[in-house]
Chain A
C-alpha cells in the first residue's frame, strides 16, 4: 500500500554511504596490539589515554593472542599486504622469528632518542644490525602455590620434583614454559648444558622425572589460574604479575622467586612491514621508552621495567614488587631458533605424553 518497502533499501544505502564518508574523514588511529585480557585492559586504562593526551595521536588497542599465534596472523596478513595492527608487543621468541622472515620495519634510530634508556638486551637488532624491536615490558614466570594447600612457601624450583603427585600445572610447550632452562639451572648449574643436543637430551631425562606430579599441561592461562585459586591444582608455574593481582584480590595464592631465579621474558614493540602508520609508531615507541612512562607502567600494571634501574624513580619496595634482586633465568631463545622443530618433536614424544 505504501511505498515504504521499496524506499527502505534506498534509505539504508544512503545511510551507509553517509556513515562511510564520516569514518573516512576521521583520522585513522594508531593500532597497537597487546595481549588481550589483563594487559589490554591495563594499557587502555593507564597508558594509551596518556599517550593520546600528550601527543594527540589516537590509539586503538587490539587484543592479541599468545605471541606465536599473533606472529602467524601478522605474517599471513603481511603477505596479503594487510596489517591487523601497526605496533605489536612481541615476546622475544616470536620477535626473532619475525626478523628471520623480514616481517618488521627497520626503525629510524634518529627518531627514537629515548631508546638510550632501554636495557641493551632489549634493543633488538636483526642480522643486518637494523633496529626492529624496542623493549616494552618484562614479566616473570615464577613458582606459584596455593597457600591453603601449602602453608609453607617453597624456596626452589626443585619442589616441582618433590612428593606432590598430580599436583602441578605446567605450561604445555617448550617455548612458553621454558622448563628446559629451569631444569638446567636447577640441576645442571646453568643453561650452558643446552648448547648441544646431547646436553638437551640429558636435561629432558631429568625433566620427565616430574611427569607423575603433573595434573595439567595447560595452554589456556585462565584454566590454570582458576584451578590454582581453588586449590584443585595447588602448585605450578605462572605469571608473577597476575598471581600478585589474584593474591591482592584475596585468593589464597602466592608467587615465589625461587633461589634459582624467576624466568624473565620480555615483550618488545615491533612494527609490521604492512603498516602505513610508521611515523606514529615511532612516536609511540619513543614515548613509551621514557623512564617516567616505565615508572608508571611498573606501578600500575605490575610488570618489570625494560629501562635501566638507574633512570627510574621506583623505590626499592616498588621495584621488589615487580622484579627480583637475584639473577633471573633467561630463556635460551637461540636454542628455539636453532633447533625449534627438533625440540618440539622431542617434547611431544617424551615430555608431554
Chain B
C-alpha cells in the first residue's frame, strides 16, 4: 500500500534537490533542542570549571586552570581509575548474564516471553536510591541473606557483605541488567531461529553454535549495549556511597560532594568534564573493540 510513495521519494529527491523549506524546518527543531538542552548546559559546565573559587564563599566569573589541575591530580586520577574499573567489571558481568538470558528468552514463544519482559520493565522502574537501600539491607549481617544461609546450614554465622566491593558491583549489575536486556532484545528477536538449529544439525554443540554463529551476528548490538551499560553505571553515585567503602567511592560521588556538600561548583564542573571526556573515549573504544569496527551511521559500501 505504501510502497509506491516510498519508491517515489528517492526519485523525487534526485530530480529536485530543493524540496522546499519543510525538511530544513523539521531538522531545525531537533537541532535547536539539542543545542539548547544539551550543548548550552554542557558549555556552561565546561566554562564553570574555569571560574574562580572563592574559598569561604561561592565563585566568581574568571579564567583559572586550578580546578582542572585539581581534577587531574593524582587523587582524582586514582578515583577515576577506580570508577572506570568498577564500571567495566559491572559491564562485563551484566553482559555475561544479559546476553544468554536474552538469547534464551527470544527462543521461547511470544506468549511465554511476556511475564519476563514485564518483570524486566518493572525492575527498570526502581530508582538507584531504592536499589541501593534494598541491597544494603539484603546484604546486612542483622537482617540479610546470610541469615537465611545460616538457617539452612550453609553458613556458620551471619556476616555483613555490605559495604564492600562486591556489594557495589552486584547493585550496579542489578540496575544495569534490565537496560541491557531491553537493548539486546530487538536484535535477538529478529535473529533467524534456524541459524543456531542449522549449527546444531551440522554437529556444533549448543554452546559452540552460540559462540560461533549467534554472537558474530549480534556483535554490534552487544557493543552498543556494552557502551550503554558502561556509561549508565559510570554515572551512578548513590550505590557507591551506600554500598561501598571510601575505596569504592567513584568520581560521581566526589562530584556530588564538591557540588552539594562542599559548595565548590567549579571543581565539581571540572571533574564532570574530565569524567565526560573519559567516558566518551572508553565508550567508543568498547564499541570499536566489541563490534570490530568504528561506529558509523552506514555500513561501508565495497568499492565497485
Contact = CB atoms under 8 A, between A and B. Distances in A.
A232 B142 contact: yes
Contacts of A75: 58
Contact of A353 (B56, B142, B246, B260): B246
A230 B55 contact: no
Contact of A100 (B56, B133, B140, B259): B56
Nearest to A349: B75
Contacts of A337: 55-56
Contacts of A223: 133, 136, 242
B265 A97 contact: no
Interface in A168-227: 172-173, 175-176, 215-217, 219-220, 223, 226-227
Contacts of A231: 142
Interface in A314-353: 337-338, 340-341, 344-345, 348-349, 352-353
Given A97-B56, A223-B133, A223-B242, A68 B262 contact: yes
Contacts of A101: 54, 57-58
Contact of A216 (B133, B142, B163): B163
B187 to A, nearest CB: 39
A344 B57 contact: no
B246 A217 contact: yes
B264 interface: yes
Interface in B68-116: 75
Interface of A: 65-66, 68-69, 71-72, 75, 94, 96-97, 100-101, 166, 172-173, 175-176, 215-217, 219-220, 223, 226-227, 230-232, 337-338, 340-341, 344-345, 348-349, 352-353
A314 B275 CA distance: 54
Contacts of A172: 241, 246
B262 A173 contact: yes
Contact of B261 (A68, A100, A230): A68
29 contacts: A66-B260, A68-B261, A68-B262, A72-B260, A72-B265, A75-B58, A101-B54, A101-B58, A172-B241, A173-B257, A173-B262, A175-B261, A176-B261, A217-B245, A217-B246, A223-B136, A226-B137, A230-B140, A230-B142, A232-B140, A337-B55, A337-B56, A338-B56, A340-B262, A341-B55, A344-B264, A348-B75, A349-B75, A352-B246
Interface string B252-275: 001001011111110000000000
Contacts of B133: 223
Contacts of B160: 166, 215, 232
Contacts of A230: 140, 142-143
Highest count of chain A CB atoms <10 Å: which of B55, B58, B160, B254: B58
Interface string B23-61: 000000000000000000000000000000111111000
Contacts of B219: none
A132 to B, nearest CB: 14
Top-6 shortest CB links A-B? A100-B57, A101-B57, A352-B246, A337-B56, A69-B260, A230-B142
B247 interface: yes
Nearest to B57: A100
Contacts of A352: 246, 249
Nearest to B163: A216
Nearest to B70: A345
Contacts of A173: 257, 261-262
B96 to A, nearest CB: 30
Contact of B141 (A72, A96, A97, A232): A232
Contacts of B53: 341
Given A344-B262, A353-B246, 5 more contacts: A66-B260, A97-B58, A100-B58, A230-B140, A349-B75
A100 B56 CA distance: 7
A96 B263 contact: no
A173 B246 CA distance: 11
Contacts of B142: 230-232
Contact of A66 (B57, B242, B245, B261): B261
B75 A345 contact: yes
Given A230-B140, A338-B56, A353-B247, A219 B261 contact: yes
Highest count of chain A CB atoms <10 Å: which of B242, B246, B262: B262
A227 B140 contact: yes
B271 to A, nearest CB: 12
